[in-house]
Amino acid sequence: MSAAELTDLSMLELSEQLAARKVSSEEATRACLQRTEQLDPKVSAFLKVDAKGALAAARASDERRGSRAASSRVDGVPIALKDIFVTEGVETTCGSKILKGFVPPFDATVVRLLKQAGTPILGKLNQDEFAMGSSTESSAFFPTRNPWDLGRTPGGSSGGSSAAVAARLAFGALGTDTGGSIRQPAALTNTVGLKPTYGRVSRFGVIAFASSLDQVGPITRTVSDAAALLQVLAVHDVQDSTSSRNPAPDYLAEIDRGVKGLKIGLPKEYFLSGMDPEVEQAARKAAQEYERMGATVVDVSLPHTQYALATYYLIAPAEASSNLARYDGVRYGLRVQGKSLRDMYLQTRSAGFGPEVKRRIMLGTYALSAGYYDAYYLKAQKVRTLIRQDFARVFESVDAIISPTSPVTAFKLGEKVNDPLAMYLMDVFTLPCNLAGLPGISIPCGFSAAGLPIGLQILARPFEEALLLRIGRAFEREHDFFRRKPPLS
Whether 406 is catalytic: no
Closest CA to 98 of 311, 324, 396, 383: 324
End-to-end CA distance of the chain: 19
Average pLDDT over residues 226-234: 98
Whether the link from the prior residue into 157 is cis, omega within 30° of 0, is: yes
Cβ 108 vs Cβ 204: under 8 Å: yes
Rounded mean pLDDT of 4-16?
A: 96
Q: How many other CB atoms are there within 10 angstroms of residue 148's CB atom?
A: 25
What pLDDT shows up at residue 318? 97
Q: What's at 348, amino acid-wise? A: T
Q: What integer pLDDT is reported at residue 253 of this predicted model?
A: 97
- Identify the weakest region by mean pLDDT among 32-41, 148-157, 366-375, 439-448: 366-375
* Average pLDDT estimate for 166-180: 98
Cβ neighbours of residue 38 closer than 8 Å, sequence gap 6 or more? none
Cβ proximity of 249 and 466 under 8 Å: yes
Give the pLDDT of residue 331. Answer: 85
Q: 16-34: buried (b, 16+ CB within 10 Å) or exposed (e) per residue?
A: ebbeeeebbbbbbbbbbbe
pLDDT in tens, 396-415: 999 999 999 999 999 999 99
Phi, psi of 253 (to 5 degrees): -60, -45
Residue type, 52: K
Q: What is the pLDDT of residue 4?
A: 87
Are the C-beta atoms of 445 and 480 separated by less than 8 Å? no
Q: 443 in helix, strand or coil?
A: strand
Which of the following is catalytic: 15, 72, 82, 202?
82
Neighbours of 318 (CB within 10 A): 26
What whole-number distance in Å separates Cα of residue 153 and Cα of residue 171? 20
Q: What are residue 133's phi and psi, to 5 degrees?
A: 160, 170
Q: Which long-range contacts (CB under 8 A, 24 or more apart) does 415-423 make?
A: 416/135, 417/135, 417/137, 420/356, 420/359, 423/133, 423/134, 423/135
- Known catalytic residue: 157? yes
What three-state secondary structure class fits 136?
Answer: coil
How far is Cα 373 from Cα 485, in angstroms, rounded to an integer? 49
According to the model, what pLDDT value does residue 256 have?
98
Q: Quick: pLDDT tens for 455-476.
A: 999 999 999 999 999 999 999 9
Residue spans of the domains in the chain: they are 3-262+398-483
Q: Collect all residues with Cβ–Cβ distance below 8 Å to 207 and sequence separation of at least 6.
A: 84, 85, 86, 92, 94, 99, 130, 131
Each residue of 285-339: pLDDT tens digit?
999 999 999 999 999 999 999 999 999 999 999 999 999 999 998 988 999 999 9
At 291 the pLDDT is 98
Phi, psi values for residue 486, rounded to 5°: -70, 155
- Span 263-281, average pLDDT: 95
**With b meaning 16 or more CB within 10 Å and e meaning fewer, what string describes 348-375?**
bbeebbbebbbebbebbbebbeeeeeee
pLDDT at 18: 98
pLDDT at 489: 66
Catalytic residue (choose from 181, 224, 243, 403)? 181
Residue pair 128/353 in contact (Cβ under 8 Å)? The answer is: no
What are the pLDDT digits (tens) for 37-73?
999 999 999 999 999 999 999 999 999 999 999 999 9
Compute the average pLDDT of residues 113-127. Answer: 98
The active-site residue, picked from 15, 96, 138, 157, is: 157
pLDDT digits (tens, 9 = 90+) for 365-403: 999 998 888 899 999 999 999 999 999 999 999 999 999
Q: Any residues with CB less than 8 A from the CB of 387 and at least 6 apart, and which?
A: 302, 304, 305, 307, 308, 311, 432, 435, 436
Lowest mean pLDDT among 97-106, 205-214, 353-362, 366-375: 366-375
Strands 121-125 and 263-267 come out as unpaired
Using alpha carbons only, give the angle 215, 216, 217 rounded to the nearest 5 degrees.
125
Query: By the 8 A CB rule, do 315 and 210 touch?
Result: yes
448 belongs to the catalytic site: no
CA angle 241, 246, 252 (to 5 degrees): 125
Q: Tell me which architecture the domain covering 3-262+398-483 has in CATH.
A: Alpha-Beta Complex (3.90)
Q: What is the per-residue pLDDT for 488?
A: 86
Percent of the residues in the chain that have a pLDDT greater than 90, as a whole number:
95
| pLDDT computed for residue 421 by the predictor | 87
Residues facing 80 on adjacent strands: 173
The pLDDT, as a whole number, for residue 398 is 98
**C-alpha 7: how far from chain center:** 21
Residues with Cβ within 8 Å of 393's Cβ and at least 6 positions away in sequence, in order, are none
Q: Look over the chain and give the mean of its residue pLDDT values, rounded to a whole number.
A: 97
